[in-house]
C-alpha cells in the first residue's frame, strides 16, 4: 500500500531511507522537486544500476503559480482540452525556468554544488529518470 508523506506525521526522508535500503528500483511521485535537496537522497540512488529495470523513476507534478490556478478556475467550466505540442513545449520550458530559479536562489555552498553534480551524474547514467506531469 502506498504511503503519503506529509513531513508532519510521516517524514519523507525517513521513509525513503527505510524503503531504499535494499531497493533495486523505485517509482516515486512528488508535487515539487527541490534540486538542492538532492544532497539528502543522492546516496540512496547511487547503488542502482541505471538500467530500465533498476533505476529510480520520479514523476514531478509541479505546483502552479497563483495566476495559473486562476486561469484553470476559469477553464473549469469548459470541457477538457487536448494539450498540443506547443503548449507542452511551453510548459516544459516554464518548469525548466523554475528549476533554474531554484539554482540561482540562496547562497551557493560546496555541499549544494556537489549534490547538483551528483544529480547530473545520476541523470546521465540513467539511475534517475525524471518526468514532468503536465496533464493537470
Q: What is the pLDDT of residues 77-127, one digit of tens each?
A: 455 566 678 877 877 787 778 777 776 676 778 888 888 899 999 999 999
Model pTM score: 0.70
* pLDDT cut 70: percent of the chain above it: 79
* Residue 76: per-residue pLDDT: 46
* Residue 100: per-residue pLDDT: 75
Average of pLDDT values for 47-65? 87
* Secondary structure of the chain in HEC code, one letter for each residue: CCCCCCCCCCCHHHHHHHHHCCCCCEEEEECCCCHHHHHHCHHHHCCCCCCCCCCEEEEECCCCCHHHHHHHHHHCCCCCCCCCHHHHHHHHHHHHHHHHHHHHCCCCCHHHHHHHHHHHHHHHHCCEEEEECCCC
**Residue of higher predicted confidence among 15 and 83:** 15
Give the distance from CA 48 to its chain's centroid. Answer: 18
Compute the distance between CA of residue 122 and CA of residue 136 in angstroms, rounded to an integer. 28
- In contact, 42 and 127? CB cutoff 8 Å: no
Amino acid at each position: 500500500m502506498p504511503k503519503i508523506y506529509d513531513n508532519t506525521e510521516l517524514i519523507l526522508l525517513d521513509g525513503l531511507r527505510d524503503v531504499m535500503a535494499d531497493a533495486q528500483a523505485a517509482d516515486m511521485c512528488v508535487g515539487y522537486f527541490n534540486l538542492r535537496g538532492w544532497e539528502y537522497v543522492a546516496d540512496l540512488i547511487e547503488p542502482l544500476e541505471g538500467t530500465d529495470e533498476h533505476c529510480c523513476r520520479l514523476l514531478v507534478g509541479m505546483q502552479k503559480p497563483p495566476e495559473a490556478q486562476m486561469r484553470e478556475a476559469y477553464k473549469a467550466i469548459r470541457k477538457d482540452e487536448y494539450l498540443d505540442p506547443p503548449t507542452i513545449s511551453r510548459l516544459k520550458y516554464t518548469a525548466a525556468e523554475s528549476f533554474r530559479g531554484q539554482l540561482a536562489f540562496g547562497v551557493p555552498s560546496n555541499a549544494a554544488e556537489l549534490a547538483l553534480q551528483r544529480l547530473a551524474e545520476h541523470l546521465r547514467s540513467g539511475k534517475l529518470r525524471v518526468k514532468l506531469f503536465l496533464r493537470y
